[in-house]
């Protein structure tokens, strides 16, 4: 999507729509218009065609006195300072909805007339609106189909802003679109069929992303290399699969030469049957989304490349497929991790932590400033937090606080859970240093407890994204989250 920033209402905008906010009890928009236009709009509002509910819209055509063919009137609700980014997101979704399946190719938003909370700058509003509106244009077209969906019509997002804001708004809105582009990659990878999106596919994609970018160096480790290193927990997961595992690193150096990198680690289980501890078959297809942590890493790296972000970021993907087979791990198997600690695999369906633990040890070589892993790790996270936010846990309170704040600012929220010592004993094993499951209580926390034992040598946070990475039901599809939150956090780290 293209971004335009202008300082007054465009006089020629052939197929555009102009968005105007209307406060709860008002019959006129919060923006001064030519008298002829204002009275036509007031007449329409007095007829009661715009519901009083926040974010509802009414599209008017050929309003006299305006050069745009459409006006989108949008009701605004009560402003709540603590929901600033959520409010803007809901407004942007309302606008996208109103223009879906129309021929409109350019949406014009008067920033000054957007009823935004005072806690957000105009540039921040533009960035968030650009992300949401551009992300709403996403369509999945990666699989061959005879029935082609119509390409989306919306091509341009135009902001009308004060002259002195032009540069800032333009830069922020472009960032917003770049984030939506990253989310589109994340969604595509999540939505791809699991017979296509294999660990090897992800390795090849990383290589392709590294080609021609002098700032990014890509390495892909195969099973022989991982075996030699001693990553036996990781390899125990792919042993039952015909698809060989891959450990992928995308080393992006956009920052100062000696600045320690931020390392992002993604769970890339390209299909999770549960292994010998096999899952029930209902909705098992959705376990193709068990690589959404990895897909998030790819999306974020793409945004870093597009924005030439001045930061050192290493995206690491632990890719494997979890299948039942004669070679697959059995419940009761004991494996030695790269760290030297042994693990009793009591449930082969708790495989995410097995690929992640060796990866967390492996990334120590990068001497990270911080490590953040993201994983569709536990069904328990959905029980606890639903599909609203991810869970964040870690060994560094400042890092956890930063991620929480980035979630609030981007409307891609995360909520802290306690990573207390008190939970660690649930992982006790009679036959190894630890078991790979901690029983039913506090499943998200005990999974993080397991990981914490491999992340002791750097500031670390873990995001359980099981509830937010994809949607089920009629609108089944990957969401592209938590790319917005992570990008917000990374951009705050640029000095």
Question: Active-site residues: which are they?
Answer: 279, 353
If binding is defined by CB under 6 A, does position 380 make contact with ligand BES? yes
Interaction with ligand BES in 286-315: which residues (CB under 6 A)? 290
Interaction with ligand BES in 84-143: which residues (CB under 6 A)? none
Give the residue nearest to Zn ion (CB). Answer: 272
CB of 223 to ligand BES, least distance (A): 20
Q: Alpha-carbon distance 78 to 416, whole Å?
A: 28
Which of 182, 261, 299, 352 touches Zn ion (CB under 5 A)?
A: 352
Q: Which entry of ligand BES, Mn ion, Zn ion, none binds 379, CB below 5 to 8 A by partner kind?
A: ligand BES
If binding is defined by CB under 6 A, does position 437 make contact with ligand BES? yes
Which of 115, 181, 251, 272 touches Mn ion (CB under 5 A)?
A: 272
Give the residue nearest to ligand BES (CB). Answer: 379
If binding is defined by CB under 6 A, does position 376 make contact with ligand BES? yes
If binding is defined by CB under 5 A, does position 182 make contact with Zn ion? no
Q: Alpha-carbon distance 77 to 144, whole Å?
A: 43
Q: In the complex with Zn ion, which residue's Cβ is closer, 251 or 290?
A: 290
Q: In the complex with ligand BES, which residue's Cβ is closer, 261 or 443?
A: 443
Total of chain residues touching ligand BES, rule CB under 6 A? 15
Q: Alpha-carbon distance 484 to 175, whole Å?
A: 11
Stretch that binds ligand BES, among 8-16, 120-128, 211-219, 375-383 (CB under 6 A): 375-383
Task: Give the end-to-end CA distance of the chain in Å, rounded to a whole number.
Answer: 28
If binding is defined by CB under 5 A, does position 321 make contact with Mn ion? no
399 burial level (CB within 10 Å; 0-12, 13-18, 19+)? buried
Q: Which entry of Mn ion, ligand BES, Zn ion, none binds 321, CB below 5 to 8 A by partner kind?
A: none
If binding is defined by CB under 5 A, does position 349 make contact with Mn ion? yes
Partners of 75 in beta bridges: 22
> Residue 244 corresponds to which tokens in the numbers above?
């060989």
If binding is defined by CB under 6 A, does position 13 make contact with ligand BES? no
Stretch that binds Mn ion, among 8-16, 182-190, 227-235, 272-280 (CB under 5 A): 272-280
Q: Which entry of Zn ion, Mn ion, ligand BES, none binds 380, CB below 5 to 8 A by partner kind?
A: ligand BES
If binding is defined by CB under 6 A, does position 352 make contact with ligand BES? yes
Stretch that binds Zn ion, among 69-77, 183-191, 269-277, 454-462 (CB under 5 A): 269-277
Q: Alpha-carbon distance 181 to 164, whole Å?
A: 28
Q: Which entry of Mn ion, Zn ion, ligand BES, none binds 443, CB below 5 to 8 A by partner kind?
A: ligand BES
If binding is defined by CB under 5 A, does position 115 make contact with Mn ion? no
CA 186 to chain centroid, in Å, comes to 7
Q: Alpha-carbon distance 207 to 373, whole Å?
A: 21
If binding is defined by CB under 6 A, does position 413 make contact with ligand BES? no
If binding is defined by CB under 5 A, does position 290 make contact with Zn ion? yes
Q: Please report, as ranges, the residues that interact with Zn ion according to CB under 5 A.
A: 269, 272, 290, 352
Chain residues in the site for Mn ion (CB under 5 A)? 272, 349, 351
């Amino acid at each position: 999507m293209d971004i335009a920033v202008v300082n007054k209402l465009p006089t020629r905008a052939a197929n555009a729509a102009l968005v105007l906010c209307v406060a709860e009890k008002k019959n006129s928009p919060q923006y001064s218009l030519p008298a002829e236009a204002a009275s036509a709009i007031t007449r329409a509002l007095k007829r009661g065609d715009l519901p009083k509910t926040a974010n509802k819209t009414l599209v008017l055509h050929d309003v006299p006195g305006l050069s745009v063919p459409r006006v989108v009137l949008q009701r605004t609700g009560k402003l709540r300072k603590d929901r600033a980014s959520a409010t803007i997101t809901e407004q942007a979704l309302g606008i996208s909805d109103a223009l879906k399946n129309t021929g409109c190719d350019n949406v014009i938003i008067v920033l000054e007339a957007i009823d935004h909370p005072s806690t957000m700058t105009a540039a921040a509003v533009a960035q968030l609106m650009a992300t949401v509106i551009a992300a709403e244009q996403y369509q999945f077209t990666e699989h061959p189909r005879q029935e082609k969906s119509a390409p989306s019509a919306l091509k341009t997002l135009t902001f009308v802003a004060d002259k002195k804001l032009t540069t800032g708004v333009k830069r922020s809105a472009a960032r917003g679109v770049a984030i939506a582009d990253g989310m589109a990659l994340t969604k595509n990878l999540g939505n791809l069929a699991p017979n296509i999106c294999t660990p090897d596919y992800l390795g090849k994609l990383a290589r392709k992303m590294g080609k021609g970018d002098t700032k990014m160096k890509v390495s892909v480790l195969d099973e022989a290399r991982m075996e030699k290193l001693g990553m036996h927990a990781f390899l125990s997961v792919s042993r039952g699969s015909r698809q060989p595992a891959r450990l992928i690193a995308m080393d992006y150096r956009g920052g100062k030469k000696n600045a320690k990198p931020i390392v992002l680690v993604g769970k890339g289980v390209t299909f999770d049957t549960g292994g010998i501890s096999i899952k029930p078959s209902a909705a098992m297809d959705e376990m193709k989304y068990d690589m959404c942590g990895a897909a998030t890493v790819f999306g974020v790296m793409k945004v870093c490349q597009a924005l030439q972000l001045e930061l050192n970021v290493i995206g690491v993907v632990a890719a494997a497929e979890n299948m039942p087979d004669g070679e697959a791990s059995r419940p009761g198997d004991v494996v030695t991790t790269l760290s030297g600690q042994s693990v009793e695999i009591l449930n082969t369906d708790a495989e995410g932590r097995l690929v992640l633990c060796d990866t967390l040890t492996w990334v120590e070589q990068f001497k990270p400033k911080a490590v953040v892993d993201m994983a569709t790790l536990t069904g328990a996270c959905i029980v606890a937090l639903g599909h609203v936010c991810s869970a964040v846990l870690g060994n560094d309170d400042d890092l956890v606080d930063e991620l929480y704040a980035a979630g609030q600012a981007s409307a891609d929220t995360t909520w802290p859970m306690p990573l207390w010592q008190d939970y660690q004993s649930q992982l006790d094993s009679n036959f190894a240093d630890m078991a790979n499951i901690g029983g039913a209580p506090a499943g998200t926390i005990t999974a993080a407890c397991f990981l914490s034992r491999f992340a002791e040598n750097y500031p670390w946070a873990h995001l359980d994204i099981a509830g937010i990475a994809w949607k089920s039901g009629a609108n089944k599809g990957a969401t592209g989250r938590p790319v917005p939150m992570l990008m917000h956090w990374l951009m705050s780290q640029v000095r």
